[in-house]
Structure 1
Amino acid sequence: MKQVLKIGLDSAAPFPMHTDYQSEVFEGFEVDLLRIIAKSLDLEIHYEVSLWKDILEQLYRGELDLICSAVSVTPSRMRILEFSDPYLQFRLCAVINQKDHLDDLSKLKNKVIGVRAAAEAEKYMLKHYPAYNLKHLDTNREMYEALLQGEIDLLIDDSPIAGGFLKKHKALKIGTFLPDTDTQYAIAMKKGDLKLKSKINGVLHTIRKNGVYQQLFAKWFTQIQL
């Protein structure tokens, strides 16, 4: 019998990492990646969908086996969780309307800035621009809709996720990339789950060596600026 892993999935569906699990077609870079890992390790995966602000705590409490849903590797998270080798590098960026111009975040003190609750973008803004007017939203869809409707002046997001939304919403663009925000996504696991971590790293190493990773990257990130 195959080992079953409970995989935490962000309900906000950060495409192209993955789409909404309840949608007609569930797909994305991380969906393909996990499918390859599961096949290679003879695992069966069951997805558990949660709000992002809850999902890391669920993993820490042992309610999930791992998360592969645009999890940024940070020093604070590494103290309480295990991480696989990174599978994607990216930056934080500011998304604005096509008609607007932005080259310096220091000029935005009187603007309303959208961020996702508990995301690294939110933490970055709270640390570097604590006096700014932030609007905290639970999902990507809410955040981008707020920008399109003029409820916020701009939003801060991970560049892969921003790229996915910009392909859909041509009225928006990346205004600038935030300085010193080079970050990586990796698969998060329970602290001490070293055997599973080693097996997953083995698969990641293999697909980079045999070209499968490069094929996945080209499939999902063509024309997306990371």
Structure 2
Amino acid sequence: MRRAAVALAALALAVSGCATPYQPPPVTEPTPEGALFTVPQEPSPTRDEPDCDPRYSLPPSAVRPRLDRLRVGVSQSTPRMSFRNPRTGEFEGFEIDLVREVAKALFGPRARQRVVFVTVPFSEGVRRLNDGTIDLFAQSMTTTCRRATEIAYSSNYLDTGQTMLVRAGSPYRRVEDLRGKRVCSGASTVSVDHVRQLGVGLVPVVAAVTSDCLLMLEQGQAEAVSSDENILIGLKEMSADTRLLPDTASPPGGGRCVWNIHPECSWFSDEPHGFAFRKGDTQLLRFTNHVLDEIRANGRWKAIHDTWLPDHPDKGPPPAHYLKNATAWPY
């Protein structure tokens, strides 16, 4: 019996020595829902751009519109700008605080109860405004003349520009280094157009929301994320293993760096941000412009900016530009 047991043990050792070590099956990282690796040319927020100056808005008015509540379309996943705090469940960020200033001017001490934040995908913002789901869209929207054919904008509340976020250990230093590589942007944003228009052979891909691009970057499904710097510094905060590309401004970009205080500006586009409204809702738009004028002047804009965007290289409160004709915008 003892001799048989020894023989069995020897056989087991021999078999184990010859066996191939276990190798787990390869796992493909899932692509975020809504991601597209083949990006259609249209619709485009900048394609066939009408002629206007998108920095202009209707003149301010202190006349308070009669509203029972203010429904605001926001993001819940754009750190620093508009996001839901996972600990408190509250919406926070630069745009959230600006909207709260508008709500305080509208409703006084009842403002917190009267403002309703509605999570709306960026790609649905215009539709949700025009179908009456929301009254105001606050989601880092660049004011463009093409969009102005469907909606109206407040005066500019932030000057920024588009740049690139890459993995910290990647070899990329200049935008040209990404030739032939996938660069991810959020669906329906002007960022997708700008990536294509750089003309250096980048491969644009899109995600349903820009924060999903960060996941695609981390999983190797894209080599860069391209969006406005105010958005990218928030994404960078979510992932320590990323960095902004130091040199993206070499391709031509017009007046892209007029509003940037950094001596080595890396923006390759000019992206004035405005709150969006239904075209006919001029009273709320003009009142919002009145509030924005007040907080530019009394230092409140700067305090909010210093809280959420202290490292964003803009020149400060954007100057307001208003049309003389108070009934038509922007033409």
> 3-state SS of the aligned residue for 1:46?
strand
* TM-score (normalizing by structure 1): 0.89
Does 2:284 match 1:214?
Answer: no
Instruction: Find the partner of 2:134 among 60, 64, 71.
Output: 64
Instruction: Find the partner of 2:102 among 37, 44, 65.
Output: 37
Structure 2 equivalent of residue 18 of structure 1: 82
> 3-state SS of the aligned residue for 2:105?
helix
Does structure 1 conserve the Cα–Cα contact (< 8 Å) formed by 2:138 and 2:276?
A: yes
Does structure 2 conserve the Cα–Cα contact (< 8 Å) formed by 1:147 and 1:153?
A: yes
Does 2:92 match 1:27?
Answer: yes
Does structure 2 conserve the Cα–Cα contact (< 8 Å) formed by 1:164 and 1:224?
A: no
> 3-state SS of the aligned residue for 2:82?
coil
* TM-score (normalizing by structure 2): 0.62
Question: What do the CA deviations read for 1:136-169 (whole angstroms, capped 9, x no partner)?
Answer: 1112332112112222111111100101121232
CA distance in 2, matches of 1:97, 1:107: 13
Structure 1, 2-11 or 77-86: larger mean CA deviation: 2-11
Return 5+ residue gaps in structure 1 as ranges.
none
Letter paired with 2:160: F
CA distance in 2, matches of 1:165, 1:224: 13
Does 2:311 match 1:223?
Answer: yes
Structure 1, 58-67 or 98-107: larger mean CA deviation: 98-107
> 3-state SS of the aligned residue for 1:33?
helix
CA distance in 1, matches of 2:154, 2:197: 27
Does 2:282 match 1:188?
Answer: no
Letter paired with 1:187: F
Letter paired with 2:78: P
CA distance in 1, matches of 2:228, 2:157: 15
> 3-state SS of the aligned residue for 2:74?
strand
Does structure 2 conserve the Cα–Cα contact (< 8 Å) formed by 1:28 and 1:220?
A: yes
Instruction: Find the partner of 2:169 among 94, 99, 102.
Output: 99
Does structure 2 conserve the Cα–Cα contact (< 8 Å) formed by 1:89 and 1:183?
A: yes
Larger radius of gyration: 2
> 3-state SS of the aligned residue for 2:206?
strand
State the number of aligned residues: 225
> 3-state SS of the aligned residue for 1:75?
coil
Deviation at 1:2, TM superposition (A): 5.2
Q: Percentage identity across aligned positions?
A: 20
Instruction: Find the partner of 2:123 among 49, 53, 57.
Output: 53
- Distance change >3 Å, CA 127–CA 159, structure 1 → 2: same
Question: What do the CA deviations read for 1:37-91 (whole angstroms, capped 9, x no partner)?
Answer: 1011226222222221112222133332110121111111122211111111100
Structure 1, 68-77 or 128-137: larger mean CA deviation: 128-137
Return 5+ residue gaps in structure 2 as ranges.
1-65, 257-268, 315-331
Does structure 2 conserve the Cα–Cα contact (< 8 Å) formed by 1:163 and 1:225?
A: no
CA distance in 2, matches of 1:107, 1:177: 10
Question: What do the CA deviations read for 1:99-122 (whole angstroms, capped 9, x no partner)?
Answer: 234454344332111111111111
Does structure 2 conserve the Cα–Cα contact (< 8 Å) formed by 1:9 and 1:69?
A: yes
Does structure 2 conserve the Cα–Cα contact (< 8 Å) formed by 1:14 and 1:70?
A: no
